Structure 1
Amino acid sequence: MAGFVQIIEYRTSKPDEIAELSDEFRKSREASQDGPAPGRVIVCADRDDPGRYFIVVEFESFEAAMENNDRPETNEFAEKMAAMCDGPVKFYNLDLMQVQEYKS
Structure 2
Amino acid sequence: MTFVQLIDCKTHDVDRLNRLMDNWVVATQGKRTATHSIVGRDRSDSTHVVEIVEFPSYEEAQKNSNLPETNRIFEEMVAACDGMPTFTDLDVVRDEQLNKAVVTRLFEEAINGNNLDLCDELCTADYREHSAGRSSYDLDLAQARRENQEHLDAFSPRMTVESMVAEGDMVCCRVSIQGRHVGAFRGIEPTGKDLTGTGQATFRCLGGKIAEGWLNFDDLGLAQQLGMMQA
Query: TM-score, normalising length from structure 1?
Result: 0.90
Contact 2:27 2:69 in 1 (8 A): no
Larger radius of gyration: 2
Equivalent AA in structure 1 for residue 20 of structure 2: L
Residue equivalent to 1:4: 3
Instruction: Give aligned pairs, total.
Output: 100
Contact 2:6 2:52 in 1 (8 A): yes
Residue equivalent to 2:15: 16
Equivalent AA in structure 2 for residue 91 of structure 1: F
Point out 4+ residue stretches in structure 1 off by more than 6 angstroms: none
Equivalent AA in structure 2 for residue 71 of structure 1: L
Contact 1:29 1:37 in 2 (8 A): no
RMSD between aligned residues: 1.0
CA drift at 1:56: 0.1
CA drift at 1:50: 2.1
Instruction: Kindly indicate whether residue 45 of structure 2 is the aligned counterpart of residue 46 of structure 1.
Output: no
- Structure 2: stretches of 5+ with no match in the other structure: 100-205, 207-231
- Given the alignment, which residue of 83, 90, 93 partners 1:97? 93
Separation in 2, partners of 1:100, 1:72: 34
Residue equivalent to 2:83: 87
Residue equivalent to 1:66: 62
- Structure 1: stretches of 5+ with no match in the other structure: none
Residue equivalent to 1:25: 24
Deviation sequence 1:40-94 (CA, Å, 0-9, x none): 0000001122200000000000000011111111111100000000112000000
Contact 1:11 1:86 in 2 (8 A): yes
Separation in 1, partners of 2:46, 2:17: 15
Separation in 1, partners of 2:59, 2:28: 18
Q: What's the secondary structure of 1:53's corresponding residue?
A: strand
Query: TM-score, normalising length from structure 2?
Result: 0.42
Q: Which has the higher contact order (CA 8 A, sep 6+)?
A: 1
What is the identity percentage for the equivalent residue pairs of Structure 1 and Structure 2? Answer: 33
